[in-house]
Amino acid sequence: MCACEDIEVVHFARRAQSLEELADDVDVAIVDIDFAEGAAYRRIASTVARLPDLRVLALTTSPARHEDVARAIGAGAVGFVDVDADPEEFTGAVHAVQDGEMWLPGAATGAVLRDIASDIQVTSSERRSRLVAVALGLVPAAGALAAVLSLLWRKYLGHLGVRPVDIALDPTTRVVDAIVTISLLVAVFGPLLYVRSWLDIGEKSLGERGSHWLGEHRTVAGTVVGMLLLVIGAALTVYADLVLVLVIGPIVAISILAVIIGLTHELPSVLRIDLIRPRRAAFAGIAIVLLFMSALGTEVLIRGPEFGVKGAEGALMTKFMGFRATPAIVTDVDGALPVRQRLYLGGNADLYVFVDPCHGDKIEMVSVGSSRIEIVDEISC
């Protein structure tokens, strides 16, 4: 282009943010859209809004990816050229867009449209089939989860010398507790999916200086917002579990389902997570589940049960998996034994099972008809 006498290069920048610095006497801007995190598209949109007479050409990879071209045109670009285009094509593109035309190279545009056509061929019935397949895929996953939880429950109670049947516990039924726990984790980490959308909204709503600062410090702002969300979410898990599970969790689930069945356009902008790549979201979800199962396995296999005067202690097994040890006063019906303060683990039709935290977590089993139990807030040693 520099060899063309009628084209003058007046500005060159290495950062997407530099588009904000363009003067209103620039006729055509060629923007490399291969910036991380979609920065180029945001800058194209904001610059075209500020300079409506500016014509933007998107510089794409070779060959051009259909999603890049579509997003660039949607942001306000009036055409595209790939990095391997010859000087004559660049010159023709600049002249065409300067004259008010669109520049869509024939062969490259045809390839882009073919790629787009293959994407939009997914019908609503195919989306429903995909959703059904995902739901059916969760069935064996739930079975595997139930098997692992059953093993962990047996190992956990095995530290005490107690069997699940002794306290009328069916470990497989605790899958519901695990699902609630996973929902809780999604509720804590799920809002992180919206950080990018919230920053976009903030960038548009702030004044010019605020928008410029946010654009230049987007990574820092995203990190700060993400950390604040995690702190708030962690606090809510301590003081308001049901708020997370019953409110935030379903909101995140609805957003994810909307992505699966292709209805993100029906959601409010603050709830859309369509910029999150499915593979990345799936990987993050699997990573959260594996992290939780690893922490649970560590607590079960290495630490084992822990007790205090108010009941069972620990983190995951007590808070998330429903393991309970209730303070109680045990009175022998016949008066043959003294009144005892114990933690009640559970029982079946024949036995009550207690643990004595004051004497090395000693297990005591008594006949149902021989003792009377009074539940209290805590016991004393």
Cβ(52)–Cβ(100) below 8 Å: no
Cβ(33)–Cβ(59) below 8 Å: yes
Same domain, 218 and 106: no
Taking residues 46-51, what's their average pLDDT? Answer: 80
Region for residue 379 given its phi and psi (left: phi exceeds 0; alpha: psi -120 to 50; beta: otherwise): beta
- CB-count exposure of residue 106 (10 Å: 0-12, 13-18, 19+): exposed
**Chain segment 190-241, per-residue pLDDT in tens:** 666 667 766 776 666 665 555 666 666 777 777 777 777 777 666 665 554 5
Cβ(10)–Cβ(26) below 8 Å: yes
306 located within any domain: no
CATH number where 55 lies: 3.40.50.2300
Predicted local distance difference test score (pLDDT) of residue 48: 80
Same domain, 95 and 211: no
Which H helix or E strand runs over 89?
helix 87-98
**Chain segment 270-286, per-residue pLDDT in tens:** 566 555 566 666 777 77
- In this prediction the pTM is 0.46
Taking residues 302-313, what's their average pLDDT? Answer: 89
Cβ(18)–Cβ(35) below 8 Å: no
286 located within any domain: yes
pLDDT category, 2, cuts 50, 70, 90? very low
Which H helix or E strand runs over 82?
strand 80-82
271 located within any domain: yes
Same domain, 216 and 240: yes
Instruction: Examine the pLDDT at 244 and tell me if it is beyond 60.
Output: no
294 located within any domain: yes
309 located within any domain: no
User: Which residues, at least 6 apart from 273, have a Cβ–Cβ distance to it below 8 Å?
Assistant: 193, 194, 197, 255, 256, 259, 264, 281
Predicted local distance difference test score (pLDDT) of residue 1: 43
The domain boundary, picked from 62, 87, 120, lies at 120
Same domain, 247 and 138: yes
Same domain, 69 and 98: yes
CATH number where 361 lies: 2.30.30
Tokens of 172: 């497989």
Same domain, 266 and 158: yes
Mapped onto helix, strand or coil, the DSSP state of residue 348 is coil
Same domain, 65 and 200: no
Same domain, 343 and 279: no
The domain boundary, picked from 120, 144, 175, lies at 120
Instruction: Examine the pLDDT at 102 and tell me if it is beyond 50.
Output: yes
Taking residues 158-170, what's their average pLDDT? Answer: 84
Instruction: Examine the pLDDT at 331 and tell me if it is beyond 50.
Output: yes
112 located within any domain: yes
Of 11, 364, 40, 301, the residue nearest 157 (C-alpha): 301
User: How many domains would you assign to the chain?
Assistant: 3
User: Which residues, at least 6 apart from 69, have a Cβ–Cβ distance to it below 8 Å?
Assistant: 58, 60, 80, 109, 112
81 located within any domain: yes
Same domain, 270 and 177: yes
Cβ(167)–Cβ(345) below 8 Å: yes
Same domain, 254 and 139: yes
Predicted local distance difference test score (pLDDT) of residue 344: 93
Pairing status of strand 28-32 against strand 340-347? unpaired
Tokens of 163: 């069997």
The domain boundary, picked from 93, 120, 147, lies at 120
Predicted local distance difference test score (pLDDT) of residue 343: 93
Same domain, 214 and 94: no
Residue 267 sits in which domain range?
124-301
Same domain, 154 and 297: yes
5 located within any domain: no
Tally the residues of the chain.
381
Question: pLDDT above 90 covers what percent of the chain?
Answer: 6
